[in-house]
Amino acid sequence: MATRWGICSAGKISNDFTVALKTLPAEEHQVVAVAARKVEDAQEFAGKHNIPRSYGSYEALARDPDVDVVYIGVIHPHHLKTCLLFTNAKKNVLCEKPLAMNTREVKEILDSAKRNKVFLMEAVWTRFFPVSVEIRRLLAQGQLGEVKMVRSEFGVPLMHVPRAVQKELGGGSLLDVGIYCLQFTCMVYNGEKPESIQATGVCLETGVDETVVVSLKFSGNRLAVFTCSSGVQLPNEAVIAGTKGTIKVSAKLSTKSVGDSEGLGWKRL
Amino acid sequence: MATRWGICSAGKISNDFTVALKTLPAEEHQVVAVAARKVEDAQEFAGKHNIPRSYGSYEALARDPDVDVVYIGVIHPHHLKTCLLFTNAKKNVLCEKPLAMNTREVKEILDSAKRNKVFLMEAVWTRFFPVSVEIRRLLAQGQLGEVKMVRSEFGVPLMHVPRAVQKELGGGSLLDVGIYCLQFTCMVYNGEKPESIQATGVCLETGVDETVVVSLKFSGNRLAVFTCSSGVQLPNEAVIAGTKGTIKVSAKLSTKSVGDSEGLGWKRL
């Protein structure tokens, strides 16, 4: 039987997710319902994507017995209460990144998912890109020797995008794009917790961070640094440097483009 | 009349400098003397490069009345006393980077050069590369809008090189290669002093730094970050990101290779 999806929020990211989901075989995945704060928005979304049911409240979606898993595409500050709504209704949840606004909220969501014995995942799609699979393969094989430095960055001008600059919408470069860098670092260092974290950054007048540089120190003299910015365009490449070799990851993360250092040059795989 | 050079130390870097100097017209630049701690080394160097006079002490070179300017190629910890020897002898000085081991030493050298009214320069050759000239031109024209972020790095495995790892030889990645990143940052921000500096790094058992990440904050919410390492190979590219555009500098700094962002792509100039 197909996994039956409910879509929470009819915004742009929910649209993109639904479009992607529909490329999978219908016998494996089906979108059975969508909910928005306004029922007209849900109805329009349902019509566009050929979804059977539409609801004017998230609570109604939570009560739908035919929904196995809910994709949550609401803005960051609403992740906490929306996640809790669905986990407490015994629904599995795939929540957009960032999972929540701070550690306290994340813990509350995790606790709820465990208590209700439901599946919970933060929608960090980059982990599933071919290049990430290739990186994990190279690391597992020890091709780089001991990794000593991980450098990543994500900078793109977003000053015109309300959700990126307004505090009440969960703005700030760290939550919006920096999370990809942090996830990349965590992936390379296999989920290990850093021994220390230093950050330098600048804020907008709205009180959210525009650009942040974060340095992390891990056990065994291993380092990482990442930069995130909603103010300027960066090349958005990543580097993993080890004692036996260095991987360079192109900005096009969705391709299988890993560069492997040979001496001082770079070979495209 | 040609500028008459004296070479202080007959090591590898002095050899490279002399080779480069000899590519210039002889009516403009001439090497007239070389000094080493052992007179045989000076004689061998003089014979190889066809230099008229060779000395077994730096003091003898300082007394040579025909020397206009001295190139100092000794190891870092000897820069202070060697610089003072020549500035006090009223010789102009071009000293290898880093100028000295710390601020106190640098101040002492600067004071001596001013007091003796001689020319003094730190040999940061990258400032004279075509790409640096091109960067300064683009910045002066305001092509990038306001620069908000400068990212640079210099990482190359040097664990086998005594001067890079031994404390008594002035080892450490910051003094050896990090200085190029700091100079790059200072060049872009036009010599402005940072408001704050944060650093995270790891040290070798010898007590010198292996890898260091430095974040700098400048006035007007402008940032910089650089990474230097003598432990791992990094791509060694640099980025200057502004509100109107982004420059990417290739690892081959000696070429005129500046990348200019157009939308999300990079155009080679």
Look at B198 and A202 and tell me if their CB atoms are within 8 Å.
no
pLDDT at A261: 40
Q: What string of DSSP letters covers chain B?
A: -PEEEEEE--SHHHHHHHHHHTTS-TTTEEEEEEE-SSHHHHHHHHHHHT-SEEESSHHHHHH-TT-SEEEE-S-GGGHHHHHHHHHHTT-EEEEESSS-SSHHHHHHHHHHHHHTT--EEEE-GGGGSHHHHHHHHHHHTTTTSSEEEEEEEEE---TT-HHHH-GGGT--HIIIIIHHHHHHHHHHTTTPPPSEEEEEEEE-TTSSEEEEEEEEEETTTEEEEEEEESSS-----EEEEESS-EEEE-S-TTS--EEEEETTEEEE-
A259 pLDDT band, cuts 50/70/90, is: low
Q: Is A254 on the interface with B (CB under 8 A)?
A: no
pLDDT at A43: 98
| CATH number 3.30.360.10 given to B126-260 | yes
Percentage of chain A surpassing pLDDT 90? 83
* pLDDT over threshold 60, residue B45: yes
Condensed to tens digits (0 to 9), the pLDDT of residues B171-182 reads: 999 999 999 999
Q: What is the mean predicted confidence (pLDDT) over A97-118?
A: 98
Q: Is B190 on the interface with A (CB under 8 A)?
A: no
pLDDT at A227: 97
pLDDT at B118: 98
| CATH number 3.40.50.720 given to B3-123 | yes
Q: Is A39 on the interface with B (CB under 8 A)?
A: no
pLDDT at A265: 29
pLDDT at B72: 98
* pLDDT over threshold 70, residue B254: no
* CB contacts, 8 Å: B198 with chain A: 198, 200, 215
* pLDDT over threshold 50, residue B83: yes
Domain map (residue ranges) of chain A: 3-123, 126-260
Interface of A with B in 84-143 (CB under 8 A): none
pLDDT at B259: 53
Nearest to A149 by CA among A212, A227, A238, A237: A238
Condensed to tens digits (0 to 9), the pLDDT of residues B197-236 reads: 999 999 999 999 999 999 999 999 999 999 999 999 898 8
If residue A228 lies in a helix (H) or strand (E), which one and from where to where?
Answer: strand A222-229
pTM, full prediction: 0.89
Condensed to tens digits (0 to 9), the pLDDT of residues A27-82 reads: 999 999 999 999 999 999 999 999 999 999 999 999 999 999 999 999 999 999 99
Domains B3-123 and B126-260 share a fold: no
Interface A:B, Cβ pairs < 8 A: 118
Condensed to tens digits (0 to 9), the pLDDT of residues B118-156 reads: 999 999 999 998 888 889 998 999 888 999 999 999 999
Provide the mean pLDDT of chain A: 92
